Amino acid sequence: MSESPDPFALAEAAASTLGELTGTESYDVAVVLGSGWMAAADAIGAARAEFTLTDIPGFTAPTVAGHAGTVRHVAINGLKVLVFLGRVHLYEGHGPNAVAHGVRTGVAAGCRTVVLTNAAGGIRADYGVGQPVLISDHLNLTGRSPLTGAPPPDGYPGRFTDLTDLYSSRLRSLAKKADATLAEGVYAALPGPHYETPAEIRMLRAAGADLVGMSTALEAIAARHLGAEVLGISLVTNPAAGLSSAPLNHADVVRAASASAKRIGTLLAALLPLL
């Protein structure tokens, strides 16, 4: 998808189309699911409706295995939830506005909370494969931002967004009430699609990173810019480069995510009503 001269108008158009398709004028929470997380979507709750993202303005189909390219309307205890099954990435040739379009659409549809999930490499030695980790902060090493370009239109916040509490401490506290075993960590976002070198992982560890992946950061920035509270959850699908003798392989990442996805969905099903 080419970059729109007005990504905010495009998000409004997408939200309007969602409302027409679902018959629901506004939503409460948007959830973006990472690679291989179909079982998580099913565990969150039964879909009242599901649509292909390409039927909605501004979306293109993901090209990465494990990303379904659909959006669901799910109701949980009166809470109206949009569940995006997949996302697009910078490395697919998209710009920051395309990467952020899903969360902007969710906020335009009324969502005041955005939950971002991903599959990540574990840098901390005590993280195990299949372990969910709350994102406490991030290092955006993509060199990109969804707030570059023309200033936001009138009626939107200015581009100089405070990211001090980007990953909401309130939401992380609620998540720990739902699952007291949850760890926290700093997520490093790199552009990909290649995996990192062992030297890069050593650099990231020295910089304070606990997790590494190729998504989430730009979406979080875009959501926070629009005033939404953000909760980030990484699923550790592999030890980061150089921390295991096994080679890194995307098919293994998707398999590991799929194997643990139901646990994430069960966590979200318990957590979302608390929001």
In whole angstroms, give the CA distance from residue 269 to residue 42.
10
* Single-letter amino acid code for the residue at 162: D
Catalytic residue, candidates 27, 39, 47, 92? 92
Catalytic residue, candidates 12, 75, 183, 250? 250
Q: How many helical (H) and strand (E) elements, i.e. helices and strands, does the chain have?
A: 7, 9
Non-local CB neighbours of 135 within 8 Å, separated by 6+ positions: 116, 167, 184, 185, 186, 187, 211, 216, 232, 233, 234
* Single-letter amino acid code for the residue at 30: A
CB-CB contact of 228 with 107 (8 Å): yes
The predicted pLDDT at position 260 comes to: 78
Is 200 catalytic? The answer is: no
Is 225 catalytic? The answer is: no
- The helix (run of H) or strand (run of E) holding residue 137 is strand 132-140
Is 244 catalytic? The answer is: no
Catalytic residue, candidates 97, 118, 140, 238? 238
In the block, residue with structure tokens 């062992």: 198
Q: In 45-182, which residue ranges form alpha helices assigned H by DSSP?
A: 96-108, 169-178
For residue 83, give the nearest of 91, 72, 75 by alpha carbon: 72
The predicted pLDDT at position 122 comes to: 96
Is 73 catalytic? The answer is: no
Is 127 catalytic? The answer is: no
Catalytic residue, candidates 214, 223, 256, 257? 214
φ/ψ bin of 216: left (φ > 0), alpha (ψ from -120 to 50), beta (otherwise): left
Catalytic residue, candidates 14, 30, 47, 119? 119
CB-CB contact of 30 with 115 (8 Å): yes
Catalytic residue, candidates 91, 136, 200, 270? 91
DSSP lists the bridge partners of residue 73 as 49, 82
For residue 240, give the nearest of 119, 121, 120 by alpha carbon: 121
The residue count of the chain comes to 275
Q: Which CATH class is domain 7-274?
A: alpha beta
Is 94 catalytic? The answer is: no
Pairing of strands 29-33, 113-122: parallel
Q: Which two tokens stand for residue 232?
A: 């980030």
In whole angstroms, give the CA distance from residue 148 to residue 158.
11
CB-CB contact of 208 with 141 (8 Å): no
In whole angstroms, give the CA distance from residue 24 to residue 151.
30
Catalytic residue, candidates 73, 89, 94, 101? 89
Is 118 catalytic? The answer is: no
Non-local CB neighbours of 203 within 8 Å, separated by 6+ positions: none
The predicted pLDDT at position 36 comes to: 67
For residue 184, give the nearest of 239, 233, 252, 118 by alpha carbon: 233
Give, for all 275 residues of the chain, the pLDDT tens digit: 445 579 999 999 999 999 999 889 899 999 999 766 777 888 888 889 999 999 999 998 877 765 668 999 999 988 999 999 989 999 999 999 999 999 999 999 999 999 999 989 999 999 998 899 999 999 999 999 999 999 999 999 999 999 999 999 999 999 999 999 999 999 999 999 999 999 999 999 999 999 999 999 999 999 999 999 999 999 998 888 878 767 767 677 677 667 777 788 888 988 998 88
The predicted pLDDT at position 57 comes to: 95
For 220, the 3-state DSSP assignment is helix
pTM: 0.93
Q: What are phi and psi of 105, to 5 degrees?
A: -65, -45
The predicted pLDDT at position 195 comes to: 92
* Single-letter amino acid code for the residue at 185: G
The predicted pLDDT at position 248 comes to: 67
Catalytic residue, candidates 15, 27, 39, 67? 67
Measured in whole angstroms, the distance separating CA 249 from the mean position of its chain's CA atoms is 21
The predicted pLDDT at position 2 comes to: 46
